[in-house]
Amino acid sequence: MKNNEWQEFFDIYAKEYETEVFTKNTLNEVDFIIRELKLNPPLKILDAGCGIGRHSIELAKRGFQVTGIDISLSMLKEAERNAGKAGVSIELIRTDARTFKKELEYDAAICLCEGAFSLHGSSDDPLMSDLVILKNIHSSLKPKAFFLLNALNAMRHIRHYGNADVESGAFNPLTLSERSRMKYKLPSGEIDITGYERGYVLTELNLLMNIAGFNVLNVWGGTAGSWNKQMIDLDEIELMVLAEKADINEKRKIFFPD
Ligand SMILES: C[S@@+](CC[C@H](N)C(=O)[O-])C[C@H]1O[C@@H](n2cnc3c(N)ncnc32)[C@H](O)[C@@H]1O
């Protein structure tokens, strides 16, 4: 079963993933997650788009019960191998974050470094597919649970792309998606896909979170490798949103920075 072009990409890229510079700060990132989500073991955590399991495994090492979901079997195989090496057990499920939900199962959720969110395929609905992910994560969380999300920063796209890119289809101003052809040879195979990456502005993220049933508690710049509750840099690759599952009858709050 092929979910979209990203599954194809990560199935081939899995063996190379750990060589990426942005994966080298996992310990600090997990310190950050535990601190900002106020987590104490043995809470149950959902890692949506867990990839090779770098956050899941470190969280499991610290006593949490983690479920990692991912569309790519090769990424999950790497995660399983890494968990074995680390001597921890995590639940790994091959599934699409757009269909997976387990009602009221988890105490917290993370969706980091474009883990599912922001990546879409040529036949996916670019406006709805990420909202479905947020709704599924929301259903899977217990009331008042925290959720940490990374999304691609569309302000960077807007500053980077020009009208010629709109004309060529490299950037779609309606969906704030960039389209890129990725073609290279790797020891594990040849990649030749066209991938779509959806950027977000914070006003939209704030509203999407609300529609899905979350209250946004804070927003920061949040590119992998440099999480520090820092102010957003307009040219930064990723944004970070900390949110809380709102009570059913609670009026949703829109986040306004101080
Ligand atoms: C850039 S990696 C991030 C992995 C991990 N969160 C990290 O921080 O290293 C993105 C991962 O999301 C997975 N992914 C993409 N779309 C997905 C979807 N719709 N559902 C589940 N996983 C998805 C990919 O297969 C890939 O493993």
Q: What pLDDT is attached to residue 257? A: 66
Verify cis geometry, omega within 30 degrees of 0, for the bond prior to 143: no
* Cβ of 116 below 6 Å from ligand 1: yes
For residue 162, give the CATH number of its domain.
3.40.50.150
In a domain, residue 253? The reply is no
pLDDT of residue 90: 98
Q: What is the pLDDT of residue 133?
A: 97
| Residues 171, 165: Cα–Cα separation, whole Å | 6
Which region, left, alpha or beta, applies to residue 184 given φ > 0 means left and ψ of -120 to 50 means alpha?
beta
What are the structure tokens assigned to 97, written together?
Answer: 């974050």
Domains: count for the chain:
1
Write the pLDDT tens digit of every residue in 143-179.
999 999 999 999 999 999 999 999 999 999 999 999 9
Domain presence at residue 131: yes
Query: Rounded CA gap, 133 and 110, in Å?
Result: 12
Nearest CA to ligand 1 atom 3: 115
Q: How far is CA 172 from CA 17, 155, 157, 161, 238, in A?
A: 28, 13, 10, 10, 18
Average pLDDT over the chain reads 93
> So what's the pLDDT on residue 25?
92
pTM: 0.95
Tell me which of 71, 117, 226 to substitute to probe ligand 1's pocket, judged by most ligand atoms within 8 Å of the beta carbon: 71
Q: Which atom belonging to ligand 1 lies closest to the Cα atom of 22?
A: 9
Assigned domain for 256 exists: no
1 has pLDDT over 60 = no
Shortest CA distance to 178 belongs to which of 150, 153, 207?
153
pLDDT band for position 253 (cuts 50, 70, 90): confident
163 or 222, which is more confident: 163
Which atom of ligand 1 lies at the shortest distance from residue 11's CA? Answer: 25
Q: How far apart are CA 50 and CA 237, in angstroms?
A: 19
Ligand 1 binding pocket includes 53 (Cβ within 6 Å): no
State how far the Cα of 146 lies from the Cα of 38, in Å rounded to an integer: 8
pLDDT at 188: 86
Q: Is residue 254 part of a domain?
A: no
Dist CA 179 CA 199 (whole Å) = 11
Asked whether residue 258 is domain-assigned, the answer is: no
Token pair for 199: 């950027």
d(CA 83, CA 80): 5
| pLDDT for 247 | 79
* Mean pLDDT of the region 178-197: 91
Give the domain extent around 141.
Answer: 5-245
pLDDT at 251 over 60: yes
Q: Is residue 165 part of a domain?
A: yes
Does residue 6 have its Cβ closer than 6 Å to ligand 1?
Answer: yes
DSSP H or E segment with residue 67: strand 65-70
Q: What is the pLDDT averaged over residues 234-244?
A: 95
Percent of the chain with pLDDT strictly greater than 90: 79
Q: Does residue 251 lie in a domain region? A: no
List CB contacts of 203: < 8 A, sequence separation 6 or more.
none
- Can you tell me the mean pLDDT for 214-226? 88
Residue 152 lies in a domain: yes
> What pLDDT was estimated at residue 258?
63
Q: Which two tokens stand for residue 156?
A: 């960077």
